[in-house]
A and B are shown apart, each in its own frame.
Chain A
Amino acid sequence: MIEPLERVISEFKKLPGIGQKTAERLIFHLLTRDSDEVYRLSEALKGLTEEVKRCQVCGNFSLGDKCEICSDPKRDRGKICVVSRPWDIAKIESTHKYEGLYHVLGGLVNPIEDVSPEDLSISELTERAKDDRVEEVILALEPKTEGESTSMYIVKKLRPLDVEVSRIAQGIPVGRDLEFTDKATLGKAFEGRRGVD
């Protein structure tokens, strides 16, 4: 294969879920498109590194030093919702149930993958939580082993501060059959049951 093709295929293969065959298929598809279309794609990719930054306050994707949420004066500055990855923010925003700020950890504590608390922005979170305006830190981390471990670590770090720490509810997803729910999830759902008005 000629060198420019090999070079692009090798770069595509570095993306998650893309192997040699998929990379080849994508490249061969691009070669059939007109050059303007390919140019637009390359410019868009270039813009990812040149234009998209990380918010210096919360770690969200941003066009400037501060993201749209941190810059928005209407957001509730008494609440910080902690997520593991920036794309979790978009998911929570889509619910329209939360109007506070966010904090992106950059992952979860996971000794199996050699990720320790020092690799995450937990110290930055504790610094933010010291702000007198902050009343509540909401943990919206995945309800799995690594998420539990990370949550407990954060709780320990925030305990000395005058701030309430809560976590999002756990249980059976909406629209799901009980029959196909595993016992751990069902157990959590029972523990977190609440009164019906």
Chain B
Amino acid sequence: MTIEKATVFVIRKVNFKDSDYVVTLFGRGSGKFAGIAKGARKLESKFGGVFDLLNMVEVVFYQSSGLDFISEAELIENWEGMRNSGEAIDAGLRSARMVNKLLEEGQREIKAYDLIEETLSSLDESQVRSRVVELSFYLKLFRHLGYQPQLMECSRCGRPVEDEDPIKFSPEAGGVVCTKCSTGNEFQISAGLRKVFVKLIRTPQSKVKRLKVTENQLQEGFTLLDRFGQFHFGQKLILRAGSSPEPL
């Protein structure tokens, strides 16, 4: 039995038996893994409320063939600022949902870990446009996992796609498509959205809040990533697009 220590984010929590939690954790070195926190639901539990979703926690755990067994946990950061805004909490939870959906058990993704830490730090600040941070998170996570949409060159022939407006976009092809390669089955995106995507990818997550993104561009961006994600990952990833719940 190996005892390990890791700093992790709580990205999912499920009640188990009368008083336990099964928590899905995501650590920088440990990757995504599930562990059982015995008695954590009890009022007198030594864990207290440390396994609240999105908390950054230092855990000590024993590796086992099934679920890891968590023996100690200490709260490092609970993003108090973020918890004062419904929209920020919502963006944080959706980001955690995306990590949980896209990463396999045991998968280590240091860049994805750093990204979620930067994202929660940004959401923790006051007066932040949470939806911009969230859109940027999705784009960057897709990039880290090798699924960045092709934005400047045609996804079919590789030639630069001129700054026409609107621009053709094909999730199947992996990004923008030039007029010559168009089959007529692509959908259209605005030139403004392409610029926004390029800026979001290039700008560190901590500075994304300074970028000007209109409400229309946000909606268009979520819709595009939703269609792109559904094609490449085979599941609905982004809740906000289409019939999504209204922002908090």
Contact = CB atoms under 8 A, between A and B. Distances in A.
Contact of B89 (A114, A118, A149, A173): A149
B23 to A, nearest CB: 12
Contacts, number: 79
A111 B248 contact: no
Contact of B90 (A111, A118, A173, A180): A111
Interface in A136-176: 143-146, 148-149, 152-153, 156, 173, 176
Interface residues of B, number: 35
B48 A112 contact: no
Contact of B75 (A109, A117, A118, A184): A184
A109 B239 CA distance: 13
Contact of A112 (B15, B16, B75, B97): B97
A17 B16 contact: yes
Chain B interface secondary structure, helix, strand, loop or mixed?
loop
Interface in B57-81: 75, 78, 80
Chain A interface secondary structure, helix, strand, loop or mixed?
helix
A185 B97 contact: no
A149 B94 contact: no
A149 B46 contact: no
A145 B49 contact: no
B89 A17 contact: no
A113 to B, nearest CB: 8
Given A112-B96, A149-B248, A156-B248, A184 B15 contact: no
Interface of A: 16-17, 109-112, 114, 116-118, 143-146, 148-149, 152-153, 156, 173, 176, 180-185, 187
Interface of B: 11-12, 15-18, 43-44, 46, 48-50, 52-55, 75, 78, 80, 83, 85-86, 89-90, 92-94, 96-97, 100, 239, 244-246, 248
